[in-house]
A and B are shown apart, each in its own frame.
Chain A
Amino acid sequence: MSAPREPELTARQITDDLTAPIFRLPSLQWVGGFLTAAGLAGLFGLAILAYCVEGYGIFGVDNTVNWGNDIGSYVFWIGIAVAGTLVSSVLLLFRQRWRTGVNRATEAMTVFAINIAGIYPLIHTGRPWVDYWLLPLPNDLSLWEQFKSPIVWDVFAITGYATTSVLFFYLGLIPDFAAVRDRCPDNRFGRLQRLLYSALSLGWKGTASDWRHYERAYTQFAWVATPLVVGMHSTIATLLAVSLVPGWHASVFPPYFVSGAIFGGLAMAMLLLIPLRSAFSLERYITIDHLDRLAKIMLTVGMIVLYVYVTEFFTAWYSESAAEQGQYWYRLTGEHKAFFWTMILCNVVSIQLLWFRSLRRNLGVLLLVAFMVNAGMWLERYNIVVLSLERDHLPSKWTAYAFTGWDYIILSGSFGLFFTQFLLFCRVAPVVSIAEIKATLLRRGRHGADQEASHG
């Protein structure tokens, strides 16, 4: 592992490096990126406003394909959220110290992705002003949720997951907020900042007792978050799989969705981390080795996803069900076959580049693969949701789904909203966990670089 030169790094310098973006004026690139993303986020809001005024008919859904872009994109964003927690909590439980370079950014990704994901089902109900009916509230008609419905399970799964991931994220930020608080300049704006960060750091003093409680709570949250994250995405998979729609009813869906989510989420993490490390000069903290390891995990889960693709087709053929076989044949050769084959190119072919170490350590290649995998994973959800509904059991119902302008707007707007949140986050909190990276880098300085290279 080509480690940064240890003698150059001190605890003070690490804190200075990682808090610097909070105190300096934003660069032009940041301002440009932020304005673009915020503009798209504004379009997202506009699309929701138009939908509230005009109704659901502004989107491309119809009586046959009644789950279109909204549900496909919902599953996509949930997947992004899943990977963030898994990278952070699972790697923590497996004692993978290299996670400290990337965990903060991926946890932030989780929180921002899940709040976007949460918007989709809320607007998809058709009457978002009565969405509170999803909660088990007493009412005059004694009507309750259908607890046998996976849609209701989904509400609980996402609510539980969102709560846990926000707390997990926030908990990790507490010592870093305190570090920022202690570096606020002594001027009017600095005092305001100090006040804010003091509140956010919850009176953190950095005593042995603080650290003991913090580390215990952080590990326990990781233990809670891991099954929750798997459970949540499995619930979403179950929501589709328990139905009899061709292409949905597959027992492998829960682990398939979880591995697919990790796959897509890791790609999104790469898309964020690679520009981030150069924009904020974090090359010593988010190293090529980190990206190399992320790429290896991405390749592993990508191969699991490929296994599921093969299994799905084999199962459809083996089942001798005309509807299942027709569905998969439609994906291969139907009018939307380009979506399927592009998905294969992005999710299967592109990741084969990651078998080669030199390509895994090439930032350009990594960015390309990450972008393709993100596109591929969105297309995968589109194929599952839309193409299955287009060719249901009843041929007289068959239809062809197409995006309207509002679908394009809300889709691009969701990316805008995501990047807006992330860019803002980069300006208000350290994007690498100061406390954790210090523990890793300073330890490595003492014990030698090889200590971190392999462990567990």
Chain B
Amino acid sequence: MSACTCPDPAPAAAAVERLADPGPLSAPRLAGAGGVLAVIGVVAFTALLLTDAGRAWGALLAATVAVTWTSLGALAFLAMHDAGGARWTAPIRRAAEGWSGGLPLTLAALVALAACGAPLLYDWFALAGTPGHEHLFAGHAKAAWMSPARWIATTIGITLVWLALRHAFVGGIGRKPRRAVLLLVVAGYGLGLFTWDVVLALDSRFVSSMAGMYAAVGGLQCALALITITAAWWSRGRHADAFRQHTFHDLGTWTIGLACVWAYIAFAQYLIIAFGGMDNETAFYLRRMQNGWDVVLTVVALLRFPLPFLLLLSQRTRTCRYALPIASAAILAGGWLDCAWLVVPHLFPQGMPTLGLLPELAVGLGFAGGLLLLALRYWRRHGTLAHGDPDLVPVVNAEHLH
């Protein structure tokens, strides 16, 4: 790795006194690509709906989970640094804020699921109001908890709170430590409940107290990957003077760190469940580790941990123009595949469905297109660099490192 000869994304340059403001982002080709992806998603979802409605809603759920975790991850990444008083994130602030814009997609998907799709995914949802519903559970309390009305209220309520918090946090100039702390507390606690309701509730007997942390770390990892790719893109033209080598070094170090934390959380959850051998827990993994799903799990694990870890281990590759975006792209692919692996085997325990995961990928690309369009809209309104932020120029000049 150390012999890599690829050019730095932003070679060391002279100190700047002020950064040029290139104005609102106008990227018609990218917006067009986002639109095409969104159309692909809608077409794929409609086609699936006509052929296998359950699969269509499963694909939608997987994409929703991926977009939600990633959007929250982008918010949380920024909030963590704001709360901790870190300055190095000043150049990537707008990038992170832009990618945190996927929560409206979450809301729309949840409304659609509540209206139509949930009964096809959650057996307890379908049986609500029938005697069979009570028989799914040992007690009345859980039966009451696992009711459509409560599920809709909780998931949509949490999403609305997240949207309000995001609205209060993004935009503006400089760090916002107090709002960041509030956001972290609410988002962190809410994400746990959201993940239980949306993912773990697929199998109402499965429990894992690690679920919230798994979602949080996965979301942070994917958000960082998107931020990194965006920074690499902007450093090649739009903001060549704003993204210096040290920023990419920090992004690369964080990428390695989060890859390690993800591996730790994922493996710890698996190890404890596998050693415990409780049928209500192991069934979740068994369903996802046989009939071809084990291959998917292996690919997820490779994309999310060893690949970025080994690729970026060297300081040289960590700031390389190609290595960092490649590792980030792998993480993003792994992130979506992870969500698909959590949802789709529940519907197809006997093995990979027709066309493999291609239809799910198409729906996922549709969500990615939607997220891209929302992010572009944000950058068009707020710009791509937080001009006026007192931390910006000092950070670009690496003063925080001395």
- Given contacts A238-B268, A241-B272, A244-B276, A319 and B207 within 8 Å (CB-CB): yes
Contact: B212 with A249, CB < 8 Å?
no
Size bracket, chain B contacts: 35 or more
Flag the segment in A171-179, A209-217, A310-318, A378-386 that touches B. Answer: A310-318
Contact: B87 with A454, CB < 8 Å?
yes
Which residues between 240 and 279 of chain B lie within 8 Å of chain A, taking CB atoms? 260, 264-265, 268-269, 271-273, 275-276, 278
In this complex, the member of A241, A307, A320 whose beta carbon has the largest number of chain B beta carbons within 10 angstroms is A320
Residues of B within 8 A of A303 (CB): 185, 188
A84 at the interface (CB under 8 A from B): no
Interface mask (A385-404 → B, CB under 8 Å = 1, otherwise 0): 00000000000000000000
Bound-complex Cα distance A218 to B145 (A): 53
Contact: A315 with B278, CB < 8 Å?
no
Contact: A255 with B265, CB < 8 Å?
yes
Residues of A within 8 A of B212 (CB): 307, 311
B266 vs chain A, min Cβ distance (A): 10
Interface mask (A349-367 → B, CB under 8 Å = 1, otherwise 0): 0000000000000000000
B189 at the interface (CB under 8 A from A): yes
Identify which of A251, A312, A447, A455 contacts B268 (C-beta below 8 A).
A251
Contact: A238 with B87, CB < 8 Å?
no
Bound-complex Cα distance A254 to B278 (A): 19
Bound-complex Cα distance A255 to B267 (A): 12
Contact: A234 with B401, CB < 8 Å?
no
Main secondary structure of the interface of B (DSSP, over half): helix
Contact: B138 with A456, CB < 8 Å?
no
B255 vs chain A, min Cβ distance (A): 14
Interface mask (A427-456 → B, CB under 8 Å = 1, otherwise 0): 000000000000000000001000101111
Bound-complex Cα distance A308 to B208 (A): 12
Nearest CB in chain A to that of B391: its residue: A454
Contact: B142 with A320, CB < 8 Å?
yes
B86 at the interface (CB under 8 A from A): yes
Residues of B within 8 A of A318 (CB): 142, 145, 196, 207
Interface mask (B169-186 → A, CB under 8 Å = 1, otherwise 0): 000000000000000010
Bound-complex Cα distance A241 to B273 (A): 9
- Given contacts A251-B209, A311-B209, A238 and B271 within 8 Å (CB-CB): yes
A–B pairs, 12, beta carbons within 8 Å: A242-B276, A244-B276, A250-B272, A252-B213, A254-B268, A310-B189, A312-B209, A318-B196, A318-B207, A451-B402, A454-B400, A456-B84
B139 at the interface (CB under 8 A from A): yes
Nearest CB in chain B to that of A243: its residue: B276
In this complex, the member of A230, A300, A319 whose beta carbon has the largest number of chain B beta carbons within 10 angstroms is A319
Residues of B within 8 A of A241 (CB): 272, 276
Residues of A within 8 A of B280 (CB): 319
- Given contacts A303-B185, A307-B189, A307-B192, A320 and B138 within 8 Å (CB-CB): yes
A253 at the interface (CB under 8 A from B): yes
Residues of B within 8 A of A456 (CB): 84, 86-88, 400
Lowest 9 A-B CB distances belong to which pairs?
A242-B275, A252-B209, A251-B210, A320-B138, A254-B268, A315-B209, A319-B207, A251-B269, A455-B400
Residues of A within 8 A of B209 (CB): 250-252, 308, 311-312, 314-315
Bound-complex Cα distance A264 to B212 (A): 23
Bound-complex Cα distance A174 to B224 (A): 39
- Given contacts A249-B278, A455-B400, A456-B400, A315 and B272 within 8 Å (CB-CB): no
Size bracket, chain A contacts: 35 or more
Residues of A within 8 A of B208 (CB): 251-252, 315
- Given contacts A251-B272, A455-B400, A234 and B264 within 8 Å (CB-CB): yes
B137 at the interface (CB under 8 A from A): yes
Bound-complex Cα distance A289 to B34 (A): 48
A305 vs chain B, min Cβ distance (A): 12
Residues of B within 8 A of A300 (CB): 83
Which residues between 290 and 322 of chain B lie within 8 Å of chain A, taking CB atoms? none
Residues of B within 8 A of A206 (CB): none
Bound-complex Cα distance A384 to B178 (A): 34
Residues of B within 8 A of A205 (CB): none
Contact: A317 with B87, CB < 8 Å?
no
B50 at the interface (CB under 8 A from A): no
A127 at the interface (CB under 8 A from B): no
B7 at the interface (CB under 8 A from A): no
Contact: B275 with A315, CB < 8 Å?
no
Interface mask (A4-25 → B, CB under 8 Å = 1, otherwise 0): 0000000000000000000000
Residues of B within 8 A of A253 (CB): 268, 272
Contact: B137 with A320, CB < 8 Å?
yes
Which residues between 222 and 263 of chain A lie within 8 Å of chain B, taking CB atoms? 227, 230, 234, 238, 241-244, 249-255
Interface mask (A121-165 → B, CB under 8 Å = 1, otherwise 0): 000000000000000000000000000000000000000000000
Nearest CB in chain A to that of B139: its residue: A320
A191 at the interface (CB under 8 A from B): no
- Pair count A-B, CB < 8 A: 90
Bound-complex Cα distance A227 to B145 (A): 39
B313 vs chain A, min Cβ distance (A): 11
Which residues between 19 and 37 of chain B lie within 8 Å of chain A, taking CB atoms? none
B14 at the interface (CB under 8 A from A): no
B85 at the interface (CB under 8 A from A): yes
B72 vs chain A, min Cβ distance (A): 15
Residues of A within 8 A of B275 (CB): 238, 242
Which residues between 64 and 95 of chain B lie within 8 Å of chain A, taking CB atoms? 83-88
B335 vs chain A, min Cβ distance (A): 20
Interface mask (B211-224 → A, CB under 8 Å = 1, otherwise 0): 01100000000000
B4 at the interface (CB under 8 A from A): no
Bound-complex Cα distance A249 to B188 (A): 23
Which residues between 272 and 310 of chain A lie within 8 Å of chain B, taking CB atoms? 300, 303, 307-308, 310
Nearest CB in chain A to that of B280: its residue: A319
B275 vs chain A, min Cβ distance (A): 4
A285 vs chain B, min Cβ distance (A): 21
- Given contacts A307-B192, A456-B87, A456-B88, A252 and B210 within 8 Å (CB-CB): yes
Residues of A within 8 A of B268 (CB): 234, 238, 251, 253-255
Residues of B within 8 A of A242 (CB): 271-272, 275-276
Bound-complex Cα distance A285 to B389 (A): 32
Bound-complex Cα distance A308 to B246 (A): 36
Nearest CB in chain B to that of A249: its residue: B276
Residues of B within 8 A of A234 (CB): 264, 268
Bound-complex Cα distance A243 to B271 (A): 11
B141 at the interface (CB under 8 A from A): yes
Bound-complex Cα distance A70 to B185 (A): 35
A439 vs chain B, min Cβ distance (A): 12
Residues of B within 8 A of A251 (CB): 208-210, 268-269, 272-273
Contact: B264 with A254, CB < 8 Å?
yes
Residues of B within 8 A of A307 (CB): 188-189, 192, 212
Residues of B within 8 A of A314 (CB): 196, 209
Interface mask (B194-209 → A, CB under 8 Å = 1, otherwise 0): 0010000000000111
Residues of A within 8 A of B138 (CB): 320
Supplied contacts A255-B268, A307-B189, A311-B192, 8 more A-B pairs, CB within 8 Å = A238-B275, A244-B276, A251-B210, A252-B209, A254-B268, A318-B145, A454-B86, A454-B400
Residues of A within 8 A of B188 (CB): 303, 307
In this complex, the member of A244, A251, A319 whose beta carbon has the largest number of chain B beta carbons within 10 angstroms is A251
Contact: B141 with A255, CB < 8 Å?
no
Nearest CB in chain B to that of A244: its residue: B276
In this complex, the member of B188, B196, B264, B269 whose beta carbon has the largest number of chain A beta carbons within 10 angstroms is B264
- Given contacts A230-B264, A252-B209, A307-B189, A95 and B401 within 8 Å (CB-CB): yes
